[in-house]
């Protein structure tokens, strides 16, 4: 990291710093799920594979994108982490659907219908429904065991068949070893409070990928920046995106997301929305790296404020950035634009943009993108979602490379209403897997819309991880391959039995709800 540039990172001065913990005295907790309805700041092999491979697939959704045909053939798994589960530091395990990554060499078939693996799950900035807190961002390590239940149906639903066991937590720190914080950065990039507190890097983590060397890449919404952390959680590198993406108010950098702290809810930022760059809470929401580990991709959640944001009906063009990371020193290579889908918001009687919440590069070279509606699901005023998709994006030869041409301060690829400028060709976008298919949800007693109960789907689905059904399929060389697509939900730490500040601060979310961290497992083939 280049120390001379550290002042340009989103950070904050804070009064309270959590005291150090005696890790030897902390009891490692675990839970069993019961069954219930840039700028560089400088295996066990099984021959009976047919036991889990279907000879005739029941296609639920299908699309062809970039010349490849993709099929969703069924919901294969469901599990959850209770809303009041805690990590080894005593804090609530919430928000873990912000992003996930399954460690590739951990995935294996342990019996004809049973699989296991290790997933790393990224919570965002902590419980913040009542205001941001000095929560230290972290990465959780969780063991997965999936036991297939092929005969599940709406008439005979299966209990949860995905077992999740908490293993460990990695706390994220700055390059100086000091804790990062979920508190909102000030309009100037830092905020001062009485007391001896020091400067902390503000982080609202939303994207996660595992490097070949075991380190973690994390994208965030505040900067928005991309950070690389060591396997132990220490920041070792940061990527600043093009100037056009950085948020500015009154002509200067302003990293605040207008998210006041819980202890000062009346704090206001003027103007509330940045005049250019990323919109509040619409930063680098998605992050993925290529299967060979040489290329990193990250994408804005929706349009920049000078090209369609912040109005939901206009923020359709989202920028997609590509970096070469093969040498260990990221190099900015390409930039594309993705036109996000729209849906009819029945509460407003208008067509609005489905912002994206995650992306994952596929072995085909295309991408899955998780685009969804907002404000619908368990714990929300409205329960019926109308757009909650894993869609496919393909970069073609005719796709316009925006790098350099539209990267300056205030540069725009579209009008203020989100209409692309002449001569710009976006990536190919193809609607694909619908989370809300009732016949599939009913296999596990789940539903979209209706009663506010534990089987109602959560609002925020924000993560992908893809693993093979046949763990030896690469050796077999078959043309069409099957995969399990895992997706975790983000419950916003909503519980009536919550804990923050290393277990010392107890809270009950004002909503009155206990929202479990739900997990779905889809089967796809291409």
Q: Quote the pLDDT of residue 479.
A: 72
Neighbours of 397 (CB within 10 A): 5
Mean pLDDT in order along the chain per 10 residues (526 residues): 48 40 30 36 34 62 98 99 98 98 97 98 95 96 98 96 99 97 73 66 97 97 97 98 98 94 90 97 98 98 97 98 98 99 97 99 98 98 99 98 98 98 99 99 99 98 98 70 98 98 97 98 99
Q: Quote the pLDDT of residue 197.
A: 67
Q: Which tokens is 1 given?
A: 């990291």
Q: Quote the pLDDT of residue 195.
A: 66
Q: Which tokens is 127 given?
A: 């419980």
Q: Quote the pLDDT of residue 185.
A: 85
Q: Quote the pLDDT of residue 472.
A: 83
Q: Quote the pLDDT of residue 119.
A: 99
Asked if residue 395 has a cis previous peptide bond (ω within 30° of 0), the answer is no
Domain range list for the chain: 3-16+39-525
- What is the DSSP annotation of 214-243? S-EEEEESSS--EEEE-TTSBEEEEE---G
Asked if residue 224 has a cis previous peptide bond (ω within 30° of 0), the answer is yes
Q: Quote the pLDDT of residue 32.
A: 36
257-262, long-range: CB < 8 A, 24+ apart: 257/184, 257/185, 257/204, 257/221, 257/222, 257/281, 258/184, 259/128, 259/131, 259/132, 259/184, 260/131, 260/132, 260/184, 261/131, 261/132, 261/133, 261/183, 261/184, 262/128, 262/130, 262/131, 262/132, 262/133
Q: Quote the pLDDT of residue 199.
A: 80
Residues in the chain: 526
Q: Quote the pLDDT of residue 4.
A: 38
- Antiparallel, parallel or unpaired: β 248-249 and 252-253: antiparallel
Sheet holding 235-239, edge to edge: 205-210, 216-220, 226-229, 235-239
Residue 155, φ and ψ in degrees, nearest 5? -75, -30
Distance CA 203, CA 112 (A): 42
Kind and range of the H or E run holding 475: helix 473-476
Q: Is the dihedral of CA 207, 212, 216, 218 positive or negative?
A: negative
Distance CA 370, CA 487 (A): 10
């Amino acid at each position: 990291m280049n120390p001379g540039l550290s002042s340009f990172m989103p950070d904050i001065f804070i009064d309270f710093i959590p005291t150090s913990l005696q890790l030897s005295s902390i009891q490692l907790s675990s839970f069993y799920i019961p069954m219930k309805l840039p700028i560089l700041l400088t295996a066990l092999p099984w021959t009976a594979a047919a036991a889990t491979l279907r000879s005739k697939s029941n296609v639920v959704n299908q699309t062809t994108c970039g010349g490849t045909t993709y099929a969703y053939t069924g919901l294969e798994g469901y599990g959850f982490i209770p809303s009041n589960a805690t990590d080894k530091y005593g804090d609530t395990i919430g928000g873990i659907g912000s992003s996930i990554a399954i460690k590739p060499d951990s995935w294996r078939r342990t019996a004809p219908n049973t699989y296991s693996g290790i997933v790393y799950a990224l919570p965002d900035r902590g419980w913040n429904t009542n205001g941001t807190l000095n929560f230290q961002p972290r990465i959780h390590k969780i063991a997965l065991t999936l036991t297939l239940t092929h005969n599940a149906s709406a008439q005979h639903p299966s209990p949860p068949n995905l077992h999740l066991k908490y293993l460990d937590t990695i706390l994220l720190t700055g390059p100086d070893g000091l804790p990062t914080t979920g508190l909102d950065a000030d309009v100037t990039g830092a905020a001062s409070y009485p007391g001896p507190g020091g400067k902390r890097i503000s982080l609202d983590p939303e994207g996660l990928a595992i490097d070949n060397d075991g380190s973690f890449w994390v994208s965030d919404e505040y900067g928005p920046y991309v950070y690389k952390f060591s396997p132990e959680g220490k920041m070792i590198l940061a990527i600043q995106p093009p100037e056009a993406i950085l948020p500015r108010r009154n002509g200067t950098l302003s990293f605040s997301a207008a998210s006041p702290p819980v202890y000062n809810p009346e704090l206001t930022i003027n103007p509330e929305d940045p005049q250019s760059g990323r919109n509040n809470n619409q930063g680098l929401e998605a992050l993925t790296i290529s299967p060979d580990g040489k290329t990193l991709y990250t994408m804005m959640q929706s349009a920049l404020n000078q090209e369609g944001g912040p109005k939901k009906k206009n923020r359709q063009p989202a920028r997609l950035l590509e970096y070469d990371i093969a040498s260990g020193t990221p190099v900015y290579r390409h930039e594309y634009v993705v036109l996000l889908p729209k849906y009819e918001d029945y509460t407003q009687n208008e067509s609005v943009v489905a912002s994206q919440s995650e992306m994952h590069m596929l072995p085909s070279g295309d991408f899955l993108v998780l685009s969804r509606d907002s404000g619908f699901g368990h714990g929300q005023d409205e329960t019926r979602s109308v757009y909650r998709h894993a869609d496919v994006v393909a970069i073609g030869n005719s796709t316009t490379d925006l790098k350099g041409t539209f990267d300056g301060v205030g540069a725009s690829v579209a009008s203020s209403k989100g209409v692309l400028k002449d001569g710009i060709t976006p990536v190919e976008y193809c609607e694909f897997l619908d989370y809300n298919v009732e016949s599939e949800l009913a296999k596990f007693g789940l539903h979209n819309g209706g009663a506010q109960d534990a089987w109602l789907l959560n609002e925020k689905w924000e993560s992908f991880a893809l693993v093979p059904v046949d763990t030896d399929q690469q050796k077999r060389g078959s043309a069409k391959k099957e995969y399990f697509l895992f997706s975790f939900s983000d419950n916003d730490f909503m519980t009536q039995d919550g804990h923050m500040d290393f277990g010392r601060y107890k809270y009950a979310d004002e909503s009155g709800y206990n929202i479990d961290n739900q997990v779905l497992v889809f089967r796809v083939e291409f």
